[in-house]
């Protein structure tokens, strides 16, 4: 791996190496820029470092101290976080979906949320680039939306939990398909296909999972990127002209400074605004890139409610990726809705710890009732949504006065559902209850409070007054400061965001190259 | 398909199945063996909790995850203690709630205060029925002693106390055997994925035939 000196100003210092930063590091390096990509977590080698164990693998999560409040406080620290090179893609469920085209103009076309400054047709090409780069295993044809090219690898076989979803959809008269997944259905390089071990969301120990860690990062290194792991960036430095000059980062017990001509913040929807706010200085007392006042605001989780039941059949949903089948019916069908937005729902395969905690916290069981219910583990079947939540300025990330282990102010995360969020959730739970019953499950119950994914907090837009970055992920206020992760989403849609984050990172890299060639990049040494 | 509803609640659903018998087989890699060996060797003495606190945690754990005498015991309180001693955090806490370890200490103190007020004794000394009554009221948010401070008892139950206990129990191979989970699975994963399909290295469920043959199958799971 190439390494850069701290006094050597690199073209790009990228903070975060997940779906946004990892992808961008690769693409920028391949375009010829010098790049150092920082991650607060370690650079794991899955074949040697990952155990088949839920407890042990919590080492992949971002579990630093955070305060949550609001009417519906978010649960942090597991599915929506990552502290490792590759970010949360190291433990994501690999569900790789495209946005519905209208969502990029949801305000103009659908009457809610905010428009993106991006064109869906252009995004369609970038989605294709990511699907190819990750060798997505998907169905022969996709039931919803405009034509898309073939998925590079064939779909995975269905497990029993996925078959239950299919049966429910068929009974309800809606379409379903095999979920497009970022895990190999055929060999690739040294990696063999997925062996259906079912530990996907605790980290893949065989490298079948096409996370940023095994896709973009090796390419980035091959193209000259330095990955600096275990390096927590605490502050972005500016010069008197108001331009970014580099980043202060904590590594090996001390603070260091890396000079850079451009800085890209890619820490996801909590750490990104936290860093921008923690970098406040005399010129920008409210935090960097915050002239709109929108840094930290419009945080959007996605609703992740479920309906669970048991079947007489053995299901053993722990085998295979957890979400092998999906329906996006309610993402594309607008009739029959009393809410804005959409949701998809997928089959589920919780491992024992997660399942027991769900039974306790969401079903209220403990004692002999919990123990009895847990014995039905191999018969459990469930459907879970990824639902769109609307942007609200009151849902936000702010700083508290308490400090973390680096001496940095910790974030407060405030979250409350709006009426539209509640109507969407109610609709989904009603529908999935019918679908699961039609699949011959019984003893149904609903898990009413769970969320997944985090977006917003530094939205992109076409107007500096109403957004933090432009369509190129460049901040309106500081021309050599960029943001490239889920933070820039103006709306979230009803699909998992990772494919869109990666597609935007690919686009951003191409735009940066184009801007550089036109001489519109601040103080950089390209060309 | 098994009619598992006919199996009495107290009866072993996966008789003879021991996930640890797979330990040296192709479902367990070296790093998993290391992790589980370390977990199984955690000592019975607390390192984070005081002796008094540990007594209370042990009593709570016995009510949240009551154990069957038929399988090797799970040292739930010691597993919780080890996590807190390591300083592992969940990564979030409600406004007004202290960090994970401090929340535990506060909660245990408040629970004992509630026990004294309601029944005139410390929690661990109460009869199981009274312990359950207090835990039920904690879960429902009905406890109001000033010792709780700004930490809501209901949230302490759900997001800290019962959560840590449940996660500790289901981190143990005894619990995995009890529910018939396949356990660690790397490098060998699974081949048979459909309804009622069992790979030979998975547990067989009682109810599908006579118990002796199920037990025989499970004894040979490797």
* Angstroms from B196 CA to nearest CA on chain A: 5
- pLDDT confidence of residue A524: 52
**Number of inter-chain CB pairs under 8 A, A vs B:** 207
Average pLDDT over residues B36-49: 96
- pLDDT confidence of residue B11: 79
Q: What are the per-10-residue average pLDDT scores of chain A (527 residues)? A: 96 98 98 98 98 98 97 95 97 98 98 98 98 98 97 98 98 98 97 98 98 98 98 98 97 98 98 98 97 98 98 98 98 97 98 98 98 98 98 98 97 98 98 98 96 97 98 98 98 98 98 96 58
- pLDDT confidence of residue A523: 47
Q: Show the tokens assigned to B157.
A: 């139950």
Chain B CB within 8 Å of residue A368 CB: yes
* Angstroms from A157 CA to nearest CA on chain B: 8
- With an 8 Å Cβ cutoff, are A357 and B163 in contact? yes
- With an 8 Å Cβ cutoff, are A364 and B139 in contact? yes
- pLDDT confidence of residue A339: 98
Q: Name, in order, each residue with C-beta under 8 angstroms of B23's C-beta and a sequence gap of 6 or more.
A: B33, B36
Query: A197, A271, A310: best mutation site toward chain B, by most B Cβ within 10 Å?
Result: A197
Confidence at B5, pLDDT banded by 50, 70, 90: low
DSSP character string of B104-172: HHHHHHHHHHHHHHHHSS-GGGS-HHHHHHHHHHHHTT----GGGTTS-HHHIIIIIIHHHHHHHHTTS
- Contacts with A207 from chain B: Cβ below 8 Å: none
- With an 8 Å Cβ cutoff, are A197 and B197 in contact? no
Shortest CA distance from A48: residue in chain B: B31
- Contacts with A447 from chain B: Cβ below 8 Å: none
ipTM: 0.97
Confidence at B175, pLDDT banded by 50, 70, 90: very high
- With an 8 Å Cβ cutoff, are B32 and A53 in contact? yes
Q: What H or E segment, with its residue span, contains residue A11?
A: strand A10-15
Q: Is the peptide bond before B187 cis (omega within 30 degrees of 0)?
A: yes
Beta carbons of A130 and A152 less than 8 angstroms apart: no
- With an 8 Å Cβ cutoff, are A352 and B181 in contact? yes
- pLDDT confidence of residue B2: 56
Look at residue B123 and tell me whether its pLDDT is greater than 50: yes
Smallest Cβ–Cβ distance between B35 and the set A53, A361, A377 belongs to: A53
- pLDDT confidence of residue B210: 82
Smallest Cβ–Cβ distance between A312 and the set B1, B92, B99 belongs to: B1
- With an 8 Å Cβ cutoff, are B189 and A195 in contact? yes
Report the distance separating Cα A244 and Cα A241, nearest Å. 9
Question: Where do we find the tokens 């037990």?
Answer: B215
- pLDDT confidence of residue B207: 78
Chain B CB within 8 Å of residue A403 CB: no
State CA A105 to chain mean position distance: 21
Kindly state which CATH superfamily the domain A10-517 is placed in. Answer: FAD/NAD(P)-binding domain (3.50.50.60)
Taking the CA atoms of A430, A395, A458 and B96 in sequence, report the sign of the dihedral they define. negative
- pLDDT confidence of residue A417: 98
State CA A16 to chain mean position distance: 13
Taking the CA atoms of B199, B204, B205 and B210 in sequence, report the sign of the dihedral they define. positive
Mean of the per-residue pLDDT values of chain B: 95
- The neighbour count for residue A48, using CB atoms within 10 Å, is 10
**All structural domains of chain A with their residue ranges:** 10-517
- With an 8 Å Cβ cutoff, are A196 and B189 in contact? yes
- pLDDT confidence of residue A527: 42
Per-residue pLDDT reduced to its tens digit, B54-113: 999 999 999 999 998 888 999 999 999 999 999 999 999 999 999 999 999 999 999 999
Per-residue pLDDT reduced to its tens digit, B8-18: 666 799 999 99
- pLDDT confidence of residue B208: 59
């Amino acid at each position: 791996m190439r390494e850069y000196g701290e006094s050597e100003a690199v073209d790009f210092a990228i903070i975060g190496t997940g779906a946004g930063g990892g992808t961008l590091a690769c693409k920028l390096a391949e375009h010829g820029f010098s790049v150092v990509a920082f991650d607060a977590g370690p650079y794991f080698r899955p074949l040697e470092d990952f155990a088949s164990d839920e407890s042990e693998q919590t080492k992949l999560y971002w579990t630093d101290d955070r305060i949550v409040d609001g009417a519906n406080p978010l649960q942090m620290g597991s599915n929506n976080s990552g502290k490792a090179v590759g970010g949360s893609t190291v433990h994501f469920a690999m569900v790789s979906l495209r946005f519905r085209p209208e969502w990029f103009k949801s305000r103009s076309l659908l009457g809610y949320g905010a428009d993106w400054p991006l064109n869906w047709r252009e995004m369609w090409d970038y989605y294709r680039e990511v699907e190819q780069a990750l060798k997505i295993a998907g169905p022969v044809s996709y039931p919803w939306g405009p034509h898309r090219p073939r998925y590079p690898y064939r779909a995975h076989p269905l497990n029993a939990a996925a078959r239950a979803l299919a049966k429910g959809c068929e009974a309800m008269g809606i379409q379903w398909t095999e979920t497009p997944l970022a895990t190999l259905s055929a060999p690739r390089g040294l990696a063999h296909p997925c062996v259906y071990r079912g530990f996907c969301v605790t980290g893949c120990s065989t490298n079948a999972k096409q996370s940023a860690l095994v896709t973009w990062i090796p390419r980035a290194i091959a193209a000259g990127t330095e990955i600096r792991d275990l390096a927590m960036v605490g502050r972005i430095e500016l010069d008197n002209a108001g331009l970014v000059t580099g980043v202060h980062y904590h590594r090996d017990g001390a603070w260091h400074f890396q000079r850079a001509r451009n800085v890209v913040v890619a820490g996801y929807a909590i750490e990104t605004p936290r860093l921008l706010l923690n970098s406040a200085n005399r010129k920008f007392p409210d935090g960097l890139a915050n002239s709109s006042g929108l840094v930290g605001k419009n945080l959007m989780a996605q609703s992740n409610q479920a309906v669970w039941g048991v079947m007489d059949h053995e299901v053993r949903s722990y085998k295979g990726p957890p979400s092998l089948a999906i329906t996006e019916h309610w993402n594309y069908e607008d009739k029959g809705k009393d809410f804005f937005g959409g949701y998809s729902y997928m089959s589920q395969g919780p491992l024992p710890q997660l399942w027991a905690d769900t039974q306790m916290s969401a079903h209220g069981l403990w004692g002999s009732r919990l123990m009895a219910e847990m014995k039905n583990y191999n018969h459990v079947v469930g459907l879970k949504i990824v639902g769109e939540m609307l942007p609200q300025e009151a849902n936000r990330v702010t700083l508290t006065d308490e400090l973390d282990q680096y001496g940095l102010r910790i974030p407060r995360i405030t979250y409350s559902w709006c009426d539209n969020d509640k109507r969407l959730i109610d609709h989904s739970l009603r529908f999935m209850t019918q679908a699961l019953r039609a699949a011959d499950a019984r003893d149904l119950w609903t898990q009413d409070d769970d969320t997944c994914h985090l977006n917003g907090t530094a939205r992109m837009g076409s107007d500096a007054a109403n957004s933090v970055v432009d369509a190129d992920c460049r901040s309106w206020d500081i021309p050599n400061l960029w943001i490239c992760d889920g933070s820039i989403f103006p709306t979230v849609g009803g699909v998992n965001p990772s494919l869109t984050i990666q597609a935007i990172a690919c686009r951003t890299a191409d735009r940066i190259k184009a801007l550089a060639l036109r001489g519109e990049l601040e103080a950089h040494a390209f060309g | 398909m098994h009619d598992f509803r006919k199996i009495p609640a107290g009866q072993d659903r996966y008789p003879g199945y021991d996930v640890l018998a797979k330990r040296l087989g192709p479902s367990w890699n070296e790093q998993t063996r290391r992790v589980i060996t370390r977990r199984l060797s955690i000592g019975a003495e607390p390192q984070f909790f005081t002796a008094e606190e540990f007594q209370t945690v042990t009593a709570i754990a016995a009510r949240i995850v009551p154990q069957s005498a038929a399988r090797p015991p799970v040292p739930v309180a010691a597993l919780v203690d080890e996590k807190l001693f390591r300083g592992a955090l969940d990564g979030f806490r409600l406004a007004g709630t202290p960090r994970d370890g401090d929340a535990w200490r506060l909660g245990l103190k408040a629970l004992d205060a509630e026990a004294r007020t309601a029944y005139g004794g410390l929690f661990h000394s109460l009869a199981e029925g009274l312990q359950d009554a207090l835990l039920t009221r904690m879960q429902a948010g009905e406890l109001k002693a000033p010792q709780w401070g700004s930490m809501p008892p209901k949230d302490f139950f759900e997001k800290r106390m019962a959560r840590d206990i449940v996660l500790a129990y289901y981190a143990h191979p005894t619990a995995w055997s009890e529910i018939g989970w396949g356990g660690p699975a790397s490098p060998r994963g699974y081949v048979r994925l459909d309804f009622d399909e069992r790979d030979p290295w998975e547990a067989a469920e009682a109810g599908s035939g006579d118990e002796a043959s199920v037990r025989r199958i499970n004894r040979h799971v490797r």
